[in-house]
Amino acid sequence: MRTRHDLVTQSLHWFVAVMVLAIYAIGLGREALPKGDFRTLLLSLHMSLGIGLMAALMFRMAWRLFAPPVEPVPTANSIRLAARLGHLGLYALMVAVPVIGLLAAWLKGRTVGFFGVPVLSPFAVERDAAKWLEDAHEISAHALVALAGIHAVAALIHHVVLRDQTLRRMLPSGT
Ligand code: HEM
Ligand code: HEM
């Protein structure tokens, strides 16, 4: 069995991680700006990248089914269970946050697109539901980034304190 994640898994992991953080930063950053063209442009960019993330994530989850298995790092069962639950939570939130964002945008009647290609809504405008979904989108996005922070700290503890292969096997060989 392999001792490292394959290159596709590694690339998708880091690509998705950077995308999530960039999309989050753009979402929060634009909230702080006064209404205007630049704020509107940032929302289009936020939504386009978010839709791109959904596609990358679908590919990642499909790839996970076929990826060559990696040898488990020797660790206590409780830590393995915590890691599994953490990863499950990350996947669940990575799916939920953009889906809720997309529904919020559609139900509000916003123009949604992927870098200029329209992504048309199958729903009628529902402003009350949109407001509720916007709040859910914001709260779940904070939860996603908080869990990703805990996850990153756990990875660094594996590397620096426990000195095991956990972080190294998510990096290209030679590191
Ligand atoms: C992982 C992906 C995403 C993350 C982490 C994320 C995060 C955020 C954050 C932090 C905000 C600011 C919330 C606030 O302060 O009110 C926001 C706003 C927003 N996001 Fe996302 N988002 C993601 C994907 C998407 C997608 C795919 C769409 C739609 C296609 C979307 C649509 C929106 C809209 C319409 C707003 C503005 C809501 C408002 O005006 O209150 N987001 N997002
Ligand atoms: C938004 C940011 C991030 C997200 C959403 C994320 C998500 C995930 C997910 C879902 C997995 C499970 C992979 C699988 O088994 O399918 C994973 C694995 C991993 N992540 Fe992240 N990650 C993020 C950032 C980071 C950062 C910053 C680090 C390092 C400091 C890191 C280190 C790792 C490592 C080492 C693994 C492999 C664990 C193992 O082999 O058991 N991740 N990540």
Q: What is the pLDDT of residues 103-126, one digit of tens each?
A: 999 999 999 999 999 999 999 999
Q: Is residue 94 situated within a structural domain?
A: yes
Q: Please name which ligand lies nearest the alpha carbon of 25.
A: 1
pLDDT in tens, 78-109: 999 999 999 999 999 999 999 999 999 999 99
Supply the CATH number for residue 62's domain.
1.20.950
Task: For residue range 22-68, list pLDDT tens digits in order.
Answer: 999 999 999 999 999 999 999 999 999 999 999 999 999 999 999 98
- The beta strand positions in the chain, using DSSP E, are 113-114, 117-118
Q: What is the pLDDT of residue 1?
A: 81
User: Does 96 reside within a domain?
Assistant: yes
Report the domain count for the chain. Answer: 1
Residues with beta carbon inside 6 Å of ligand 2? 13, 16-17, 20-21, 64, 83, 87, 90-91, 94, 148, 151-152, 155-156, 166-167, 169-170
Mean per-residue pLDDT, 11-18: 98
Distance CA 147, CA 4 (A): 24
Q: What residues form DSSP beta bridges with 6?
A: none
| 2 assigned to some structural domain | no
pLDDT value at 174 more than 80: no
Query: Is 1 a domain residue?
Result: no
Write down the pTM of the prediction. 0.95
What is the pLDDT averaged over residues 73-82? 93
- Residue 175 domain-assigned? no
Residue 109 lies in a domain: yes
The pLDDT value given to residue 148? 98
Domain with 99 in it: 7-170
- Please state, for a pLDDT cut of 70, what percent of the chain lies above it: 99
| Distance, CA of 164 to CA of 154 (rounded, Å) | 12
106 CB under 6 A from ligand 1? Answer: no
Distance 148 CA to ligand 2 centre (A): 8
Question: Mean of the per-residue pLDDT values for the chain?
Answer: 96
